[in-house]
Structure formats: structure tokens, C-alpha cells
Amino acid sequence: MARYMIVLLLIFLLFVCGCELFEPDEETYDYPTITKIKIIKIPDADDNGNAWDDFSSPDIFCQVIDSLNNIYYTSSTKQDVFADDFPLIFRPDNLELLDKEREFAIAVYDEDLTSDDFIDIVGPFSAQIIMDDSSNVYTMVNYTWTLEIAVTLRW
Ligand SMILES: [Ca+2]
């Protein structure tokens, strides 16, 4: 039985390590696809100078939206984020941008128990803007340079 468990454990470890080695950014896609969102920095405090959370560090998630506020992606939440935790990396699963001209933006929030705090937004960007660029990474900042996000697109 112990040997059986060890074999199962080895298979599990191989699977986990294999997933780590697998680099999804190297795939090609039928449509421009956001494969990675990297939040490089957020403002230290809200517009009133208050911390995002009273009793802990902010719990951060992001959304990809368009100009009509349609939501295309909501990330998981990174709990209790400290300065050392940046950059935060989110890997959307198959976030294809079927309309290359449509303008998107990325909004960042601090998740709260009652209503989430809106932190800030960057954009607009379109898949075409990134595809016209020489690289597949597009870095955006808000107007006060306190929010910085890099979007990786594959196609
Ligand atoms: Ca808060």
C-alpha cells in the first residue's frame, strides 16, 4: 500500500511540476487572446488618503471591461496584498478578444465584505493596438502614474 501511495505521489508531483514548466504564453490562438495581466503597482491610498482596508492590506482583483461596462473577465482575488507581493499575475483562461477594434480597459478593485473599493482603471486599449506594436506586451498607466498594468496578448 505504501509503495502504491509513493507511486501516486510521484505521478502527482510530475503533473504539478509539468504544469509549472508548461508555458501557456507560447501557445498560438485563433483570436487575439489575453494570456496574462500583470498588475505592477497600485496607488498606496484612496483619493482621500485613506488605506484601502482599515485592518489589513487590500484584497485585489481586476476586471476586463469595455466602454459599455460589459465585463469580459473577473480575476480571482489576491488576499492581503503587501508591497512586496507586486507584481500580481493573473492568467485569464481563454480570454479571446473576438473584436480586434473594440476598446477595453482594466479596472482594479479592493474586495470588501460590503461593497468593493474601486481602485483605478487603465485603458482604453484594443487588440489591434497591441498587435500593431512590435511586442505582445502592452503596458498602461493611469493619469497619475499610480496604477501600472502590463497586458500580454497572443494570437
Ligand atoms: Ca477596502
Q: How many helices (H) and strands (E) does the chain have?
A: 2, 9
Question: pLDDT by residue (tens digit) across 29-79?
Answer: 888 999 999 999 999 999 999 999 988 999 999 999 998 999 999 999 999
Q: Ligand 1: distance of its center to the CA of 67 in Å?
A: 25
Determine the Cα–Cα distance for residues 80 and 129; give it in Å rounded to an integer.
34
**What integer pLDDT is reported at residue 69 of this predicted model?**
92
Sign of the four-CA dihedral 44, 76, 121, 100: positive
108, part of any domain: yes
**What mean pLDDT comes out for the span 1-15?**
67
**What integer pLDDT is reported at residue 15 of this predicted model?**
62
Q: What is the CATH number of the domain that holds 134?
A: 2.60.40.150
Determine the Cα–Cα distance for residues 11 and 14; give it in Å rounded to an integer.
5
**What integer pLDDT is reported at residue 39 of this predicted model?**
98
Determine the Cα–Cα distance for residues 43 and 50; give it in Å rounded to an integer.
11
9, part of any domain: no
Residue numbers of the domain that contains 130: 28-154
Which residue matches cell numbers 474601486? Answer: 118
Q: What is the DSSP string of 45-85?
A: S-TTS--S-SSS---EEEEEEETT--EEEE---B-S--GGG
**What integer pLDDT is reported at residue 26 of this predicted model?**
65
Q: Ligand 1: distance of its center to the CA of 66 in Å?
A: 24
119, part of any domain: yes
Which carries the bigger pLDDT value, residue 10 or residue 72?
72
Q: Ligand 1: distance of its center to the CA of 59 in Å?
A: 8
Give how many domains the chain has, as a whole number: 1
Q: Ligand 1: distance of its center to the CA of 147 in Å?
A: 17
